[in-house]
């Protein structure tokens, strides 16, 4: 790229012209993206990044993010985009290696918002120890004037010793989560409704590769892991039950939900079990590994409040059943449609 001719700093909002693939696109990329994300693979701005690779299995994943608002307590669209793709690789048992970043920016987006989000992308990538190695930027016409859609894809290395997957789940296995559920979705919905709860209600968005690596290398026989994002805890448990044609029994009193989240869920009329998380995994282990799994999780800062929440059974028909605090039982269903639009 040429030395910059007309600094983007002289404009305070993104213009359609920034997406045209010309001089202005180059300035946007140099001044607002590379300045924060710079690394030796991204810097050449070629059509793709070249990565050395060992023989073995590669895991490849992608997610688009359309969350609104773009920034919220505990995170922003950039943090969940990086964390989400890192987590998708990690729950497959892979070590995240590199991410791509596709930005679709709405004309009118304030440049300082973009800068904060790119800074958050860079910071979250450092936290997860991955690099953004390739990317793309497009600009679309003004709509609300504050829109940004983010796509991240990721590649990771699957160690030959790791074997996690739904097919390993059996009756008597134990189900764990790494901490309090529902914080992300409830934070977003609270901000949208302009409801102020205690200041401790924050999105849990976080890259969990460190926690998962600790679990997988700590001698625990982990059978299955999945991050409980859209569809919440209920969605993941429904997946396990349906795929394996087994039942799952969970104990309400053992499911970590913060008092603030519980209060927010009541106010908003939402079931914490179906609310999205961005930093929570559901983990299935053999019964005799439950204690060591719990201890491995709790040793990590993102697993301090980990808990055993239930177990897999062969009760038929296959259902997810909740033993309530009140001593009752209710069937937990996968949410049907869009209970919480644009939550991630």
* Binding to a second copy, residues 57-116 (CB under 8 A): 57-66, 87-89, 91-92, 94, 98, 100-104
Touching a second copy, residues 129-148 (CB under 8 A): 133-136, 138-141, 143
- Min dist CB 94 to a second copy, Å, is 7
The tokens describing 16, both together, are 């359609």
- Report the residue from 110, 171, 259, 341 that binds a second copy according to the rule CB under 8 A: 341
- Min dist CB 208 to a second copy, Å, is 12
- Min dist CB 288 to a second copy, Å, is 26
- Min dist CB 344 to a second copy, Å, is 8
Give the list of residues 6+ apart from residue 136 with CB closer than 8 angstroms, or none: 100, 101, 102, 103
- Min dist CB 323 to a second copy, Å, is 23
Question: If we measure between CA atoms, which residue out of 172, 179, 273, 277 comes closest to residue 223?
Answer: 172
Touching a second copy, residues 308-327 (CB under 8 A): none
- Report the residue from 19, 74, 272, 310 that binds a second copy according to the rule CB under 8 A: 19
- Can you give the C-alpha Rg of the chain in angstroms? 21
The tokens describing 231, both together, are 């569809």
Q: Does 277 participate in binding a second copy (rule CB under 8 A)?
A: no
Cβ proximity to a second copy, 105 vs 290, nearer residue:
105
- Min dist CB 220 to a second copy, Å, is 20
Q: Considering only 20-28, 116-124, 286-294, 324-332, which stretch makes contact with a second copy by CB under 8 A?
A: 20-28
Q: Does 34 participate in binding a second copy (rule CB under 8 A)?
A: no
- Min dist CB 222 to a second copy, Å, is 14
Q: Does 219 participate in binding a second copy (rule CB under 8 A)?
A: no
Contact 24, 110 (CB under 8 A): no
Touching a second copy, residues 286-305 (CB under 8 A): none
Touching a second copy, residues 157-186 (CB under 8 A): 158, 165-166
d(CA 276, CA 278): 7
d(CA 313, CA 147): 45
- Min dist CB 166 to a second copy, Å, is 8
Q: Does 20 participate in binding a second copy (rule CB under 8 A)?
A: yes
Q: Does 12 participate in binding a second copy (rule CB under 8 A)?
A: no
Give the list of residues 6+ apart from residue 117 with CB closer than 8 angstroms, or none: 70, 71, 76, 77, 78, 148
- Report the residue from 10, 12, 52, 196 that binds a second copy according to the rule CB under 8 A: 52
- Report the residue from 149, 170, 292, 323 that binds a second copy according to the rule CB under 8 A: 149
Contact 339, 274 (CB under 8 A): yes
Q: What is the DSSP string of 172-189?
A: T-EEEESS--SHHHHHHH
- Report the residue from 207, 235, 303, 310 that binds a second copy according to the rule CB under 8 A: 235
d(CA 261, CA 202): 9
- Long-range CB contact pairs, 9-13, < 8 A, 24+: 9/111, 11/111, 12/110, 12/111, 12/112, 13/107, 13/108, 13/109, 13/110, 13/111, 13/145
Q: Does 40 participate in binding a second copy (rule CB under 8 A)?
A: no
Report helix, strand or coil for 136: strand
Q: Does 259 participate in binding a second copy (rule CB under 8 A)?
A: no
Cα 40 to chain centroid, rounded: 26
């Amino acid at each position: 790229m040429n030395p910059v001719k007309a600094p983007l700093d002289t404009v305070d909002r993104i213009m359609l012209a920034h997406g045209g693939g010309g001089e202005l696109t180059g300035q946007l990329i140099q001044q607002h993206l590379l300045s924060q994300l710079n690394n030796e693979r991204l810097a050449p701005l070629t059509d793709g990044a070249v990565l050395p690779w060992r023989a073995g299995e590669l895991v490849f994943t992608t997610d688009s993010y359309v969350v609104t608002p773009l920034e919220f307590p505990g995170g922003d669209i950039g943090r969940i985009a990086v964390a989400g793709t890192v987590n998708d690789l990690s729950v497959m048992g892979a070590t995240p290696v590199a991410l791509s970043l596709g930005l679709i920016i709405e004309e009118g987006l304030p440049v300082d918002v973009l800068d904060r989000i790119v800074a958050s992308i860079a910071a979250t990538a450092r936290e997860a120890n991955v690099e953004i190695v390739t990317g793309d930027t497009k600009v679309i016409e003004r709509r609300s004037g504050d829109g940004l859609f983010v796509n991240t894809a990721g590649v990771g290395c699957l160690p030959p010793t790791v074997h996690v997957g739904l097919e390993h789940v059996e009756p008597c296995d134990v189900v764990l989560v790494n901490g309090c559920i529902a914080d992300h979705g409830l934070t977003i919905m609270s901000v949208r409704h302009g409801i102020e709860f205690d200041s401790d209600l924050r999105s849990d968005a976080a890259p969990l590769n460190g926690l998962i690596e600790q679990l997988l290398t700590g001698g625990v026989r982990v059978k299955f892991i999945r991050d409980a994002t859209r569809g919440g805890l209920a969605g993941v448990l429904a997946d396990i039950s349906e795929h394996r044609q087994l039942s799952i029994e969970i104990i309400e009193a053992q499911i970590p939900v913060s008092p603030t989240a519980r209060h927010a869920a009541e106010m908003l009329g939402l079931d914490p079990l179906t609310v999205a998380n961005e930093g929570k995994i559901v983990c299935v282990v053999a019964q005799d590994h439950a204690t060591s799994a719990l201890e491995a999780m709790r040793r990590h800062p993102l697993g301090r409040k980990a808990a055993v929440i239930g177990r897999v059974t062969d009760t038929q028909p296959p259902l997810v059943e909740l033993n309530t605090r009140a001593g009752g039982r209710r069937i937990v269903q996968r949410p049907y449609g869009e209970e919480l639009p644009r939550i991630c």
